[in-house]
Structures are given as C-alpha cells and as structure tokens.
Chain A
C-alpha cells in the first residue's frame, strides 16, 4: 500500500497534518467536512490525499451535513472522519447522539478554540471537554481521546479509528488550536507497523438479522453493513435487537441503552489510557490532560528541584473516566491540582472521583495562552504554603 506521504521515518509537521496522515494509515477512506479555523488544514490534507488512495473527500454545506455524511459512509462500509472546532462541534451534537444510538463507528475531531460562540478562532482552549462528554441529549456513552503533542495527535487518531471499529461507537479526538498549528518532529511508522482494527461483520444468518444484538456477550453487535443483502434497518428511535422501533417498551429501551453503556464501561481497562510521572512518593499531584499537561510536566520537574514531592497524572482519555483511580490517588496525596484552559471542567470529574479524600484545586486560565510552567509552579507553591 503506497501512501502519498513519507512513512517509516520522521517528518516535521503540524498537528492537523499528523491527524490526516494517521487517519489515512488507519484506513479512513471517507472524509466530509466544512471549513473552520483551526481545523481546516485537516480537511485540506485529507482532500489532497484521499483521491489518490481511491477515497472520497467532500465539502458539505455545513457541519451537520458533514457528520451525517460520515455516518452514512460508515454504514456503507467505510471508515469515516470529520474535523471541526467549537461552533461546528455544537452543530454536530444531534447526529453524534444518532451515531451513539445506532452504534456507528466514526471519528470526530474537535480542535478546540476560545469560546463560547465565535470566541477566539485562532487561539487554543480546553472549553469543550464537558461538551464532548455530555453535549448530545439523552443517556449516551462515547469515547474521548485528548492528545498533548503532535506525535499523540498522530497516535491517538489511529487509536480512535481502532476503538471506533472495535466497540462500534463514535470516538471524539479532542485537540486544540495549539496542537493544530504547531510543528513537531513526528515518527510515522511503516504501514505494517500500525495495528488496524476492523469492525465485526455478521458471521451467521442470525447475526445478519440482528444489527443490535449481543452474540459475543461483550456488548458489541456485529455490523451488517449496507449492500450485502442483510436488509438492515437502522433508526435513531429506541429499537430492539432486530432494529425494529419499539419506542414505548420500557424494558427494551433500558436494555438497549444499558448495553451501549456496558459496551464501553465493561471495557474500561482496554479503553482508558494515562501516564504517571513521579507519583510513587508524591504528596501532591497534578491531574492534567492535553496541551497543558506539557507545562505541568515541566512544573513537576521544577517543583521537585525545590523539594516538593509532586507528581503528574496525565490523562490520554477523559471519557470513560476512571473514578476509582482518582479515588486511589486522592487517598495517597493531600492535594490535587487541576490546571486547564477553561474555568473548570476536568476539575469536576477529578473532584467527584476524589470523594473528599484530598483537596482538589483548580488552576484555570482562559484567553488563549497555554499555562506556562512558571504559572503552574507559582499557583502550586502558593497553594502549598497555605
């Protein structure tokens, strides 16, 4: 398989470009999108590459059309992606819920920028975390990955496709304007070195008739894609295992929604990813995700030099969230600091997980500049003096 870019080496590229290359190497062959700063470059790269690998890249009339098209594409059998930023992500929420309800594998990238509303189009923020988790209506479950480097933008995008296929679910890759446009040296593996996961297809006539069944007990139904004679009916209405709408049946609704939850939550160990730095003997911890975790890393080093026993828990996934792990951390340290580029979002998850066993302090910063290590150090030193 030949790619229209260098593989098996390293390249000096922007985050947006890395995401596009990762998607193609993970098997993405359909992209539908709409221009928006700072994610347009993802679209432009996909538009450049996809026709050369016999894929489809199309500009839809708006973001709602974009996510609709990728869901349709997924049911026709393709791995599909769209990318946007805050305003577009807000528009996509209804259909994101549709993808959850119909268990359609798709990847939706949101490169966060200052909000709300039109906000600060060219500057980074982390204000969409809660939206990524809760944005669509109803009880829903999905996976949210948060890269902090251009290398992670590449690696997590590949992972997003694999998780989407494995668990027949939409996956959100939550980046930001800084990662979108910064350039870093990235290792791009050889195609053979990349693990690519594909969706379960029906194996028996019974599975062909049940697009929403649970034959393997893992909560993940085989996906009878269109055009193979399965006569699959997919609807956003509450439905039974056969896909038949059953909107007034309480038991069927509960069974369906809880299976969708179980599908993800029972597999938390496979899905949740994080890194611990210097937490073994820590008395104080930082919990951070995304771009700000880099400054947090430097802050940990600086504070250790000044004698503070501090460590960092960097989250790669923010949903599903490991509340147990947070509780265990809170048992070991007396304070947890949460630096984020918003007015408190991850903070609430950490606080809930800590269950009062440790104090949780928010280090918020908005306006479009990432926390500097010095700012984090100063806030923590101030906090520890009290």
Chain B
C-alpha cells in the first residue's frame, strides 16, 4: 500500500510518515519511507512517502498513491496527480480545496482545540488516516508515537492522534 503525506514545512509531515512507518515495522510488515522537501524549513512543500507491504518492497517513492493525506493546498497541488483514480484523498478541509472526491476534517482546527497548538496537526491527520484505512492497528501507532516524538510530548501527541482517530471512525 502506498501512502503519501503532503503539506508544507512545519506541519510535521515527515514525522507523520516516520510514525506510520514505525507502526508498520512494529507489526512486522515491510515498510519503506522516503521524504522530499524544498530547502525552506518553513513554508515550502513537504512530502513524505510510506510504502507498506507483506511482500518485499521494490518501489521507493509513491508513484500511484492508494491514499493521499493533504494538509495544505501547496502540498496538495504539488502531488495531487500521484493519487490513483480510485485512491482515497484525505484533506484538512479548512486548508485544502480539492478538485475531486475527498474525505477529511479540519485537522488544524481540531489540533488547536484539543491540544492548544496547531503543531499536532500531523497527529490528528494520522489518527484519521488510520481509522479510515486500518492500514495499521491503533496500538501500533500509539507505540510508534511514544518511540518517535520528543520526550515529554508523548501525551499531547497521543491526544491529538485520538481526536483524529475518533473523527475518522465516525
């Protein structure tokens, strides 16, 4: 399965990809994760690709995404053509105006409301993605979050994740 996260620098797109990858690895799946960004550390596009499979993985980057998670219009515009015709598009409904069928929620707003900061938008989106697709188990994602986020921020990130997960389960 090919999952692509797209946003702008500062939204934590790459970390979301790493956590998804870690979760898949915890479950013993094969997983390959790569990233691409412009040189601006804030503001330019940021793309993270995660490929998950039971078989050995030969692909490196997502060429035909099964799922595209877009957190910002700039990120979406940069990579929207890589989503398969029958793929799933998940967006931050406040920040992205897609030109095709989509699902999603106002992730950034939910992040601010539940954790007081928009920095956890990536966790909200990740929770939503996992609830929607079941690509990995919730428990694996929680464990991966604990391993990868800066010490002391586990609780706030898990809270944001669960807000997204709830939203995605509904």
Task: Enumerate chain A interface residues (CB-CB to B < 8 A).
Answer: 10-12, 178, 181-185, 291, 294-295, 297-298, 370, 372-374
Contacts and interface: CB of A to CB of B under 8 A. Distances in A.
Given A294-B58, A295-B58, A182 B25 contact: no
Contacts of B35: 181
Nearest to A11: B25
A68 B3 CA distance: 45
A185 B59 CA distance: 14
Interface of B: 18, 21-22, 24-26, 28-35, 57-61, 63
A184 B29 CA distance: 10
B29 A185 contact: yes
A374 B63 CA distance: 9
Contacts of A178: 34, 60
Nearest to A10: B25
Contacts of B21: 12, 183, 185
A295 B31 contact: no
A10 B29 CA distance: 10
Nearest to B17: A183
A291 B24 CA distance: 22
A184 B58 contact: no
A26 to B, nearest CB: 23
Given A10-B25, A12-B21, A183 B58 contact: no
B24 A185 contact: yes
Contacts, number: 55
Given A183-B18, A184-B30, 20 more contacts: A10-B28, A12-B25, A12-B31, A178-B60, A181-B35, A182-B60, A183-B21, A183-B32, A183-B34, A184-B31, A184-B33, A185-B21, A185-B24, A185-B30, A185-B31, A294-B57, A294-B59, A294-B60, A298-B58, A373-B59
Nearest to A123: B36
B29 A182 contact: no
Nearest to A375: B63
A185 B60 CA distance: 13
A370 B36 CA distance: 13
A15 to B, nearest CB: 11
Nearest to B35: A181
A297 B63 CA distance: 15
A14 to B, nearest CB: 9
Contacts of A11: 25
B79 to A, nearest CB: 14
Contacts of B57: 184, 294
A185 B56 CA distance: 11
17 contacts: A10-B28, A12-B21, A12-B31, A178-B34, A178-B60, A182-B32, A183-B33, A184-B33, A185-B21, A185-B24, A185-B28, A291-B60, A294-B58, A294-B60, A297-B58, A370-B60, A372-B63
